[in-house]
Amino acid sequence: MCHDGRNSPSYMIGRKLLNTTNLVPRIIPRAEHTISRTEISEYALKVLYRLKNAGYQGFLVGGGVRDILLGRHPKDFDVATDATPEDLRDLFRNCRLVGRRFRLAHVHFGSDIIEVATFRGQHSGDEDEDAEVVDGRIVRDNVYGTLEEDALRRDFTINSLYYNIDDFSVVDYVGGMDDLRARQLRTIGDPAQRYREDPVRMLRAVRFAGKLDFQIEPNSEEPLRELAALLEGVPPARLFEEVLKLFLTGSAEKTFILLRRYRLFASLFPQTDEVLSLEGGPSLEFVYLALASTDQRVAEGKPVTPAFIFAALLWVPVERLKRRFVERGMMESDAFAQAADSVMAGQNQRVSLPRRFHTSMREIWHLQERFSKRAPKRSARLVEHPRFRAAYDFLALRAQAGDADKELAEWWGQFYSSDEDTRTALVSTVVSDVAEPRRRRRGRRRSNAKPSGAVAT
């Protein structure tokens, strides 16, 4: 075992003070819980048994334990141990050490990775050579300790339950089992202090509440609005990874409601939040529908792309800024390009969007304007565009929200799903409907002219 030899300090769960020097865990025997090894990844079991056979402690911990107890089927399994990262590297040939802020071992089994972490210990602050604290925020933390200390260092009680491979029991130091039954999310330690140590914990609180349909315990909920601005100090690249978890794991709509309730959304998407607060109406409804659509795709096992959800979240400020530029006399295409550049540059200051998504987002936005041009050749070319389906889904959601012409969205839905003859008839109908008044206005001289690709709005 690796232990730093210091006495553990007193600690809090919610507002309850605990003395960690004599904290007695609750042991739930196998007969009294629902975790079965058949629910655990075979690779996680291999890691646990190898640790055990080598004389180390090994526990399944975190979301894997929590989700099995809730009747869910987790995809990720994390392991906690008293083995140091160097011990793990010696023990597992397929191991890579990663991370600076938290030193972890990734044990690879093909494309599967089991994350193994050494028990975290308490640290006394800036003087710890293996820990670095800046303005109350932990920016580096490789202080190792005991199982008890590790349990108290985790973020929420429901994530601090340990499945013991030795006797198949569950070890609970912090009342996590009771909170699971009560379906509530509670921080371990003083909530404000824990959020200051790592502001991303506020996003995790909202994500778990939305994903699990849990209530955030009042003391853990209270500091969220006041401390929301701390997210502005988190590296934008790290926030991108957190946003993916917020919006692409099946509970985006619920999570969005909670983010706005606790003023966290404004720290992630300030431009979007400003427009939604001013306009509401179709703009807000469109965001809700886009998030609900993403949740439905996740539930149905269909692929989802970050580009689509980011395009939806940033469409409102892009469109609003484009309108401003057009009102100032700028050409429509130039106004769109400048608005898109400005909004994405501003967004990257808070949540950085990898450049590989920029092109997809721009194409989805740009195609919204092209949908109004239904000339025969243009229509045929448009449905062949690699981003057509995403852009059409985007248009359909806008129409449903009252932000676009419903007839236009229905027409493109028909055109996309029809054969060539039906497409020709659909285009001819649109062109003749618009071209007829033009022939009357221009008299006989143009009466025999062929339709020239009119614009329908």
Residue 23, CA distances (Å) to 8, 149, 151, 330 in order: 10, 10, 11, 68
Per annotation, catalytic residue among 67, 78, 150, 190 = 78
DSSP one-letter string for 381-398: HHHTSTTHHHHHHHHHHH
Question: Does the annotation mark 141 as catalytic?
Answer: no
Give the single-character DSSP code of 328. Answer: T
Half-sphere exposure of 174 (CA within 13 A, CB side): 29
Hey, what are 365's tokens? 């936005």
Rounded distance between C-alpha atoms, residue 395 and residue 403, angstroms: 9
Rounded distance between C-alpha atoms, residue 124 and residue 130, angstroms: 11
Rounded distance between C-alpha atoms, residue 1 and residue 369, angstroms: 64
CB atoms near residue 178 (< 10 Å) = 14
Rounded distance between C-alpha atoms, residue 269 and residue 263, angstroms: 11
Per annotation, catalytic residue among 82, 141, 155, 198 = 155
Rounded distance between C-alpha atoms, residue 387 and residue 375, angstroms: 19
What's 239-269 look like in SS3?
HHHHHHHHHCCCCHHHHHHHHHHCCCHHHHC
Rounded distance between C-alpha atoms, residue 254 and residue 209, angstroms: 9
151 exposed, middle or buried (CB, 10 Å; 0-12, 13-18, 19+)? buried
Question: Does the annotation mark 135 as catalytic?
Answer: no
Question: Does the annotation mark 78 as catalytic?
Answer: yes
Per annotation, catalytic residue among 76, 87, 341, 405 = 76
What amino acid positions are annotated as catalytic residues? Answer: 76, 78, 155
